[in-house]
Amino acid sequence: MSCSLDGYVADASGDFDWGAPDDAVHAFINDRVRDARTFVVGRHMYDAMRVWDTWELGQSAASDEFAEIWRGIDKVVCSDGLVAEGAVVDAPRTTLEPRLTPDRLAQIVAGTDGVVEVSGPTTAATALRAGLVDELTVRVVPHVAGGGLGLLPEGWQADLTRAECVPLGDGSVFLRYTRA
């Protein structure tokens, strides 16, 4: 997940193009998600990531690699709205269910042989508030959004320990925190 220096994943108009990685940063991200076996996402993250299910290979090595990684990962889309609309997710290895609950996340983790990533601030808020997140990773980009959708849920508090800080070539910084 990328966020602006002031802590937003999308600005007030919903734009997040300022967080798009260059090829070198994308290769770094690929190395970080390679071990993931399941991604749990909300509706907006699902909509943003759908491009990787139909990515036309040959555009860049890093993008092609990410598309292959993404296609090999199970995805759980949690959205009351999509369920209520009777929507069908047509992406491979993807299931749709209502809003993420702590009990459901525990079931997903127990049923997955490997790393489970919860991505998207609204969906991740449930896991964060329930204390079910072992690591928090974020790429902070040198952009000030000035408002919008925040990375972390309002009112959430936690003591964290920095486990990793990697400056990246595009001026962004990758941070990994664990619970203190």
Distance, in Å, from the CA atom of 12 to the CA atom of 92, rounded to the nearest integer, reads 32
Q: How far is CA 51 from the centre of its chain?
A: 14
For the cut 90, the answer to whether the pLDDT of residue 180 exceeds it is no
Contact 174, 168 (CB under 8 A): yes
For 53-103, how does the pLDDT look when each residue is reduced to its tens digit (9 = 90+)?
999 999 999 999 999 999 999 999 999 999 999 988 889 999 999 989 999
Tokens of 129: 């508030």
Distance, in Å, from the CA atom of 147 to the CA atom of 8, rounded to the nearest integer, reads 7
Tokens of 28: 């770094």
Look at residue 88 in the predicted model and tell me its pLDDT. Answer: 86
Look at residue 136 in the predicted model and tell me its pLDDT. Answer: 96
Query: What are the structural domains, with CATH classification, of the chain?
Result: 2-179 (3.40.430.10)
Look at residue 71 in the predicted model and tell me its pLDDT. Answer: 95
The model's confidence at residue 115, banded by pLDDT at 50, 70 and 90, is very high
Distance, in Å, from the CA atom of 96 to the CA atom of 78, rounded to the nearest integer, reads 6
* Segment 128-156 mean pLDDT: 96
- pTM value is 0.92
